[in-house]
Chain A
Amino acid sequence: MSTPVLSVRNLRVEFPTRRGTLVAVDDVSFDIAPGEVLGVVGESGAGKSMTGTAVIGLLEPPGHIAGGQVWLQGERIDTLPPEKMRRVRGKRIGMVFQDPLTSLNPLYRVGEQLIETIRTHTDASPAEARKRSIGLLEAAGIQGAARRIDSYPHEFSGGMRQRVVIALALAAEPDLIIADEPTTALDVSIQAQIIQLLKTLCRERGAAIMLITHDMGVIAETADRVAVMYAGRIAEIGPVRDVVQRPQHPYTKGLMGSIPTLEMDGGRLLQIPGSMPRLTAIPNGCAFHPRCDFVFDRCRTERPNPMPSGASAVACWLADPKNGSPRVDREATAAQAKSPT
C-alpha cells in the first residue's frame, strides 16, 4: 500500500482553562490514502474542527497538541517550526473553514485575495494569476466570475462566499484538503457541484480530503470512509456503507436515526436523550454511557478504545468479542435476525 497522504497518531489536544484542563481531542488516530475522502461526523462540539485545526497547526493558544503525531506524506509535521509549517499550509494543505469569514479579508476584493494566494505559491504572472482566479471561481460555481471577481466578500450571499473560500483553498493545488463544513451554507444543487469539484480533484491529482460535515447525504455520496466523533474521541470508523447503513456504535445508531427524511411527514424526529457532557466533566468509562440504551457495568468503569469489528473499528464494549454480557448476546442475535444475510 502507498504511504497515506495524512496519518494522525494518538492525537491529543488540550486547552488549559481556569476550571481545569479541557481535553478537546483525545487519542485520535486515522489515515487518509491518496485519492481518498474521509468523512468526519459527530456531535456538535465533539472535536471535529479541532482535529482539523491541529493537523494544520493553527490551534489557537492556549490550545495545543499535548500528545501524538501528525504525518503528511511520510513527513512529520506537528513538530515543524512555525515558519516551515506556514509554507506547508498554503502549498500542500488547503483549508475550507466552517466560517467563511475567517478565510476572507473583508477589506480586500475577492480577486485580490485569490491572486495573492496563487502568486505566493506558484510563479504565475499577475495576468496569469487573474485568469486562473476567474477559472477557479467559475469551477466553484460563481456565475459571471470575470465581473464578480472585483466584488468585496460582503457583496456575496452566504453560499457564494463559501464558494469563494473553496476556490481559495484549491488555488495552490494542495495534496491534502481539510474541508470543514464546506457545503453547510449551500443548497443541494451547489452542494452537488462543489462535491463533484472536490472529488475530481481527489481522483485526478491523488489528493486526500478530510471532509467534516453534518450532512449525511453529502457523506453518503462523497466519502470512502467515515469517522464518527463523540466527546473528543473516535466512536466508530469504517467504510461509508457500513457506518451509514449498519452503524454499530450506539451513538452512531442514534445519529443515523435522527436524520429527517423526505419520506417522513411531520412527526417528531427521533433524538438521542440528554446532551454531550462538558469536556471538563467527561464521565468515567465510555463517555457515551449516560445516554446509551445498551449500557452495562463495564461501560461505567472502563473506557473502550476502537476495536476491529467487521471492516470498521468501534469504540464500544458491545463490539468486544471477549465480552460475555447477556445484553450483548441479545443485541447480536437481534441484529442477525434483522440482517438478510
Chain B
Amino acid sequence: MTPTLTQPAAPAPRATAVDVDAAELVRVRDLSRVFDVSKPWLNRMIEREPRKLLKAVSDVSFSINKRETLALVGESGSGKSTVAKMVVGLLRPTSGQVRIDGLDMWAGGDLTALRRRIQMIFQDPYASLNPRWRVDAIIADPIVAFGISTDRAEIEHRVGELLRLVGLDPLDGRKYPHEFSGGQRQRICIARALSSNPEFLVCDEPTSALDVSVQAQILNFMRDLQDQLGLTYLFISHNLAVVRHMANRIGVMYLGRVVELAPTQDIFRQPQHPYTRMLLDAVPDLAMSGRPRKMVEGEIPNPIDPPTGCTFHPRCPLAFDRCKREVPIALKTGFDRSVACHAVEEARG
C-alpha cells in the first residue's frame, strides 16, 4: 500500500453530521420502487390469479452531506440494494426523486459529467466483473470510458497503483477474474470503483467477502481516502460493527421503509425503534461469554403481502392496536434523528 494514502501524518478530523458548513450532496425524496412479480399473463388467466406486485422500497427519504458516510442497515430483502441502484441511476424509481449535487438523476438531463463522479461497488462481485476481460482492462475501464486519460503508460501506472492499494500485485492485472478468490475479486471491484476518482461512492456490502485483516485494510483505506479527498459514501452492510466504524449516520430499513435515521452514536447508545433494538441484540457474541445470542424474533413478512399498518407489528414487543391500523410516519425525535413508530411517538417504549 502507498504509505501516503494509508498512513496520513495527521488524520483530518472526521466530518460529522453536526458540521456547520456541510453541503448537501445527495438528496433522496419519497423514493419508491414496485416490482411486478406476476406469473406470465396466460398462467394468470388459467389459474385465475391477480397481478402480484412487490413493493421493494416505499417512500424513502434521506440526504447525505459532502464528506459524510450514511449507512443503510436492515434484514435481507429490506430494499437496501434497490435503493442503492436507484441512487446511482441503474434502476428507475416507480416514484420519488434522487438529486445529486442539485441534478435530478431521473429527469432525463445530460448526466455524463455527473456519472463520472459517482461509482458503485456491487454486492455481488462475480456478476459485476466481465469474465472475458483481463483485470487491468476492467480496472482501467472507467478511466477510458470517461476519457480521464488516454496515455497508456499513465493508465498502466494508475492500475498498478490501485492494485497495490487493495493488497494485490500489479502483475495480477494480467489475469482474468476466474483466477482470483472471492475476496480478491471483491478487491478488484473496489479498485475499479476508485479508478475514476469518484466523489460519491455507493458501496453495497463492500467487504463482506473479505477476511477481517483485509477488511481492516480496506476500511481504513476508505476512511483515509475520505479524509484526504473528501469522498462521500452511501455504505450498505449487514455487519453492525463495520457500520459503526464507518458511518456518521445510519438509516435502518425494514420491509422497504426507513424506520429509524440517526447519527451513529445515537443508534448504538440509545436505539429508539423496536426493530433497531432487536437488530442490536442479535449481534453474535465474539467474547464467547456464553451469552446466548438473542435471536431476532419472528421472520420478515412476505413483501408481496405485507402486514397492515406498521409492517413490523407482528414481531414487535411494543405493538398495540394503533400499529395494526395505521402506517407510522417518520417523526423527529431529537437533533438530526427521526423514527417511524407509534410506541415511540406515544412514549410507550
A contacts, CB < 8 Å to B: 41-46, 48-50, 60, 98-99, 101-102, 141, 143-144, 147-148, 150-151, 155-160, 163, 180-181, 184-193, 196, 214-218, 220-221, 240-241, 244-245, 254-255, 258-262, 264-266, 268-272, 275-276, 278
Instruction: Give the contacts of B163-190 with A (CB-CB under 8 A).
Output: 167-169, 171-172, 178, 180-184, 186-187
Among A220, A255, A278, point to the contact of B286 (Cβ < 8 A): A220
- When distances are taken between beta carbons in the complex, the residues of chain A under 8 Å from B302 are 143-144, 147-148
A111, chain B: closest CB distance, angstroms: 12
A159–B204 CA distance with the chains assembled, in angstroms = 12
Contacts of A264 in B (CB 8 A): 241, 244-245
| Pair B123/A158 contact, Cβ less than 8 Å | yes
Interface centre among A155, A188, A196, A217 (most CB of B within 10 A): A188
Question: Across the interface, do B299 and A143 meet the contact criterion of CB distance under 8 Å?
Answer: yes
**Partner-binding segment picked from B88-96, B135-143, B277-285:** B277-285
**Set of chain A residues within 8 Å of B211, measured between Cβ atoms:** 41-44, 46, 214, 255
- CB < 8 Å neighbour of A98 from B14, B74, B182, B303: B182
B198 to chain A, nearest CB (A): 23
Contacting chain A: which of B288-296, B324-332, B341-349? B288-296
Q: Are A220 and B123 in contact (CB under 8 A)?
A: no
Question: Would A245 and B288 count as touching, CB distance under 8 A?
Answer: yes
Residues of A within 8 A of B284 (CB): 188, 191-192, 215, 217-218, 220-221
Q: A144-B302, A261-B241 are in contact. Are A45 and B293 (CB under 8 A)?
A: no
A266 partner, pick from B14, B168, B238, beta carbons under 8 A:
B14
Q: In the bound complex, how far is the Cα of B85 from the Cα of A335, in angstroms?
A: 50
CA distance in complex: A150, B52 (Å): 13
Q: Is B37 an interface residue (CB 8 A)?
A: yes
Contacts known (A184-B208, A218-B284, A221-B285); A158 close to B76, Cβ less than 8 A: yes
Instruction: Find A160's partner among B77, B168, B181 (CB 8 Å cutoff).
Output: B77
| A191-B168 Cα distance, complex, nearest whole Å | 30
Inter-chain contacts of B184 with A (CB < 8 A): 44-45
Instruction: Give 25 pairs: A residue, B residue, CB < 8 Å, sorted on A.
Output: A44-B214, A98-B182, A144-B302, A147-B304, A150-B39, A151-B37, A157-B77, A159-B76, A159-B77, A159-B238, A160-B76, A181-B182, A186-B76, A188-B239, A189-B282, A193-B295, A193-B299, A196-B295, A214-B208, A259-B241, A260-B216, A260-B239, A266-B244, A270-B216, A275-B214
Q: Is there an interface contact between B81 and A49, defined as CB atoms closer than 8 Å?
A: no
**Which of B182, B205, B282 is the one whose CB lies under 8 Å from A49?**
B182
Contact A98 B295 (CB under 8 A): no
Instruction: Decide: A278 near B171, CB < 8 A? Known: A49-B182, A221-B285.
Output: yes
Do residues A141 and B182 form an inter-chain contact, with CB atoms below 8 A? no
Q: Chain B residues with Cβ under 8 A from A163's Cβ?
A: 76
CB-based nearest B residue for A155: B37
**Most chain A CB within a 10 A radius of its CB, from B184, B302, B305:** B302
Is B215 part of the binding interface, using a Cβ–Cβ cutoff of 8 Å?
A: yes
**Residue B59 is within 8 A (CB to CB) of chain A in the complex:** no
Closest chain A residue, CB of each to CB of B265: A265
**B127 CB-CB contact with A under 8 Å:** yes
B205 CB contacts on chain A under 8 angstroms: 158, 185
A214 to B186, CA, bound (A): 14
Cα–Cα, bound, A190→B77 (Å): 11
Q: Establish whether residues A101 and B241, one from each chain, have CB atoms under 8 Å apart when the complex forms.
A: no
Nearest residue, chain A, Cβ from B300? A143
Residues of the A chain whose Cβ atoms lie less than 8 Å from the Cβ of B75: 159, 187, 189-190
CA–CA, A218 and B212, complex, Å:
13
Closest to B210 in A: A44
Known: A44-B186, A44-B211, A188-B240. 17 other contacts (CB 8 A): A43-B211, A45-B184, A143-B303, A144-B305, A187-B73, A187-B238, A189-B278, A190-B76, A192-B284, A214-B209, A215-B239, A217-B283, A220-B286, A241-B288, A260-B241, A269-B216, A271-B220
Given contacts A214-B215, A260-B216, contact A185 B180 (CB under 8 A): no
**Which residues of chain B have C-beta atoms less than 8 A from A188's C-beta?**
238-240, 279, 282-284, 296
B residues in contact with A262, CB < 8 Å: 240-241, 244, 268, 280, 283
CB distance from B294 to the nearest CB of A (A): 9
For B25, list chain A residues within 8 Å (CB).
Answer: none
B317 interfacial by beta-carbon distance below 8 Å = no
Chain A residue nearest to B6 (CB atoms) is A271
Residues of B within 8 A of A181 (CB): 182, 209
